[in-house]
Amino acid sequence: MMTISTHSWDSPAATLLITGEGLTPGDVTRTLGISPSLYREPTADSRFRPGEGVWAIQVTAGPHQGLEEALDELADLISGVLEGIRELEESGLTVQVDLSGRVDGRTRIPVSPHALSRVAALGFLLSLTTEVVPSERSEDLWDWLPAADGSHRAPREDEQEETGTPGDPAPVGVSLAVPESWWEFDIRPEGREATIRALVDERIRELPELAPYRADLTTMLRRMAKDAHDSGAIYLGCMAENFDGVPLYATVTVSVLGARNKQGVTLSTDPRAIAESLGTITPRREGDAWRKVTTVDIPEVGTAARTYGVEDVPVAQGDSRTLRMVLTQTYIPVPGTADQVVLVSGASPVLDLAEAFHDIFDAVTSTFRFV
């Protein structure tokens, strides 16, 4: 049984979720020979993954059952069609296992090692979805990958919007160093596929034991690159490792933003002014989301504003469901301009290693240079 606190999931459910721009629900059903619990044709006006088709099998736990029972039943349902599911993933569709339920907004709900190992055995991405009312400071999951229209952050009335619409490309080049085991590649559509294939081939030559995971690595990198480019980033570095059967993910992105509010008024790019405009999040109890604001000195660059913490953010823009992430965001004024800021952002869903990832993101950001 799952070890829980005095509170637990309400209506726990396990879902196999397949999505993608080219997804046709009928084709997925024919490929797998299983009828979905729910499906949707691609539609641009959907609040959940607009423009993408959705095909899902969902198992909701019965009375006196928990999340693990729902997950076990889902795993049994799809055990005979795993090869077909992986073929769909290799075709470019996104496949994930989503564990969900309703919880008190300030309740910490552990998930047992058995549940995590069962998902790891399936070999698909894992997401945890809790139905809660977002706090007033909840931000879009990709806040650290700003939206192209500058709508990535809706400031409170009492705070300044430190970064508005993305600016023109930086008037000088930028440089950033990540650990050798990380992945760096061209995220532009015209160069993305060739670079990803070359990187995966090179990594497998170095580490032949990764060969069985070629399709998984390619799919993951393709999705990360697309999300980063679509959100306005000019650089993406990512970590994807497996530690004792537990997947570890992290990304670092670089974006150039225009320091203007929604009315087009130019805002100060002084790091201290930016820091003063950023809101903190104070946890009420252990396990709550939190955010701290500070300034840091980057060698050969100077002072920059920074936020770091563990935050609850919506799964997608306009979606009430939230995902908790480790976030470090550093705002660096672009020299020679009065209205541009470089945003270096680090993020990971691995909350148990939050302190370690904040240190990693700090170390990576400290290598940032204008060239």
pLDDT in tens, 268-292: 888 999 998 888 999 988 888 999 9
Q: Where are the domains of the chain?
A: 10-131, 174-370
What pLDDT score does 363 carry?
94
Residue 296: strand pairing partners: 304
Q: What whole-number distance in Å separates Cα of residue 55 and Cα of residue 35?
A: 9
Q: How confident is the model at residue 232 (pLDDT cuts 50, 70, 90)?
A: confident
Mean pLDDT: which of 68-72, 151-155, 170-174 is highest? 68-72
Say if CB 61 and CB 68 are below 8 A apart.
no
Q: Please count the other Cβ atoms lying within 10 Å of the Cβ belonging to residue 359.
A: 12
Q: pLDDT (tens digit, 9 = 90+) per residue, 192-224?
A: 888 888 888 888 888 787 788 788 778 878 877
pLDDT for the residue 109: 58
Closest CA to 274 of 128, 191, 162, 168: 162
Q: Are 352 and 255 in contact (CB under 8 A)?
A: no
Q: Which of 171, 162, 123 is nearest to 278 (CA)?
A: 162
User: Domain 10-131, what architecture?
Assistant: 2-Layer Sandwich (3.30)
Task: Identify the CA nearest to 259 among candidates 370, 194, 170.
Answer: 170
Q: Answer yes or no: is pLDDT of 17 > 50.
A: yes
Q: With the CA atoms of 20, 22, 28 and 31 taken in that order, what torsion angle do they form, in degrees rounded to the nearest 10?
A: -120
Query: Can you spell out the DSSP letters for 217-240?
Result: HHHHHHHHHHHHHHTT-SEEEEEE
Contacts of 353 (CB under 8 A, 6+ apart): 248, 326
For residues 258 and 277, what is the distance between their CA atoms, to the nearest angstrom? 15
Among 13-22, 182-191, 316-325, the minimum mean pLDDT is found in 316-325
Q: Is there a contact between 348 and 158 (Cβ–Cβ < 8 Å)?
A: no
Q: Confirm if 72 and 115 have CB atoms less than 8 A apart.
A: no
The beta strand positions in 109-268, using DSSP E, are 125-131, 174-175, 183-184, 235-243, 246-258
